Amino acid sequence: MGRENKTIYAILGFLNHEDLSGYDLKKRIDGSLSYFWAAGFGQIYPSLNLLERNGWVSKKAEDKEGGREKILYSITESGRKELLTWLSTPVEKEYVKFEILLKLFFGSQIKADKNIENVKDFKDRYIGQLGILKHFDENLRNHLGESEDHLYYLLTVLFGEKLYKAYVEWADEAIEVLENSKKNNKGGELN
Amino acid sequence: MGRENKTIYAILGFLNHEDLSGYDLKKRIDGSLSYFWAAGFGQIYPSLNLLERNGWVSKKAEDKEGGREKILYSITESGRKELLTWLSTPVEKEYVKFEILLKLFFGSQIKADKNIENVKDFKDRYIGQLGILKHFDENLRNHLGESEDHLYYLLTVLFGEKLYKAYVEWADEAIEVLENSKKNNKGGELN
DNA sequence: TCGATCATGTAACCGGTTACATGATTGT
DNA sequence: ACAATCATGTAACCGGTTACATGATCGA
């Protein structure tokens, strides 16, 4: 599972820009990281406590006329140092699980058409996602230069586009291979 | 986290071919699924117990002259039914976390060169993996037709190749963008 | 009035990882 | 003699998800 709570770095990263509450952090994460790094309240609030115990963030209740109290967190100097250290550390190997592949690996046990259907479902999902990413992409390109950050945001979007395109291309190939295998039962011609 | 232990289907899938022990299952998984679905002993043995409690597998001690006892598991009729049902069910949305993107998202906080280094590390890892997959690919193509299974195995390998190629292509683009941003500080020209 | 949003948290649970315990056999 | 492999498991722990509890404000 990666053995270390890296969501704390997502939190530190945002707090490095501005003071935020747990609720705000959730919105920031949902709005920009969620495609490759999601987090729920059940993880954010405990993580904030952990960060505070480590002295990497400090909290203060925001004065607020009316409404529920809001707790704002600020990054500390040692928190900023921790963030920068982590940013400069080489990435660990990612660990990915693809249910679609687990299903296909044992696919000979069911009809080819069923497998094709599963692959099509998979494909359609990412065609939809590609459309969303395209908007992000265009938006970011229009605002490049306003802030150096946008360049980095764009790099993450480019990754998503490459990734989802690879999914879709693979799905098309897989569907073709499976369609062929229905006709010539002896394994189907490849290439 | 996906909310359901899908590793049991990896186990059922292999047991559908032949009776195996927990130890054997680990080797099967390491040898063919581990690129997209890993499992340790600490998960396999408890999962086998769960499968048995559900009546999806049955166990029998294998007679063995000398050496430690070996427990062989066999899939039951209801286990086979469960496997086939799952195989025919549409895949759930996969949930992937990319630490490299989390780092890059906040990349403006450190030197461009450090980010480039991180991306290069990422790239090199997958260039290596691509070499390994190429061997799998060639091997499988040479044995297509021997069993229908090989066609399905090949589809999972094709996925890996597409995926890792996408990683590498993105890395090259990202490195180029970051190199450019070092020269023209105003965000770097894209396209 | 009613649902959405703002806002903070806790508890139960589950999947998965790591470390540990145990001990025989086989190959160098 | 010693390391690797065969072989089965347990316990502690951790990251993460889901559901629950609570209550105010704001717009339709």
Judging contacts by C-beta atoms under 8 Å, the chain B residues touching residue A100 are 91, 94, 159
Q: What are the tokens at A74?
A: 């600020």
pTM here is 0.93
Report residue B64's pLDDT band, with 50, 70 and 90 as the boundaries.
Answer: low
- Give residue-wise pLDDT tens across range B122-152: 999 999 999 999 999 999 999 998 999 999 9
Q: Where are the alpha helices (DSSP H) in chain A?
A: 7-15, 22-28, 41-53, 77-87, 99-105, 112-142, 148-183
Gap from B109 CA to D21 C1', Å:
40
Q: What are the tokens at A58?
A: 């400090």
User: Distance between CA A113 and CA A140 in Å, rounded?
Assistant: 41
- A189 CA: distance to closest CA in chain B (Å): 9
To test the contact with chain B by mutation, choose from A8, A16, A93, A104 the residue with the greatest count of B C-beta atoms within 10 A, namely: A104
Residue A41 CB lies within 7 Å of the nucleic strand C: yes
- Give residue-wise pLDDT tens across range A127-151: 999 999 999 999 999 999 899 999 9
User: Which chain D nucleotides are covered by protein, judged by CB under 7 A?
Assistant: 6-12, 14-20, 23-26
Report residue B22's pLDDT band, with 50, 70 and 90 as the boundaries.
Answer: very high
B100 has a pLDDT exceeding 60: yes
Nearest to A32 by CA among A131, A152, A166, A162: A152
Going A95 to A100 to A101 to A106, the CA torsion angle's sign is: positive
User: Per-residue pLDDT averaged across B159-184, rounded?
Assistant: 95
User: Distance between CA A87 and CA B107 in Å, rounded?
Assistant: 7
Q: How far is CA B98 from CA A80, A157, A170, B87, B91, in A?
A: 22, 12, 20, 27, 21
Please give the pLDDT value at position B66: 54
| Chain A to chain B Cβ contacts (< 8 Å) | 221
Nearest to B126 by CA among B180, B86, B166, B99: B166
Nearest to B91 by CA among A166, A124, A191, A79: A124
- Give residue-wise pLDDT tens across range A64-111: 655 568 999 999 999 999 999 999 999 998 889 999 999 999 999 999
Name the average pLDDT for chain A.
92
- Give residue-wise pLDDT tens across range A20-71: 999 999 999 999 999 999 999 999 999 999 999 999 999 998 766 555 689 9
SS3 (DSSP) at A173? helix
Q: How far is CA B65 from CA A149, B68, B74, in A?
A: 67, 9, 21
Contact B22, B40 (CB under 8 A): no
Q: What are the tokens at B191?
A: 């396209």
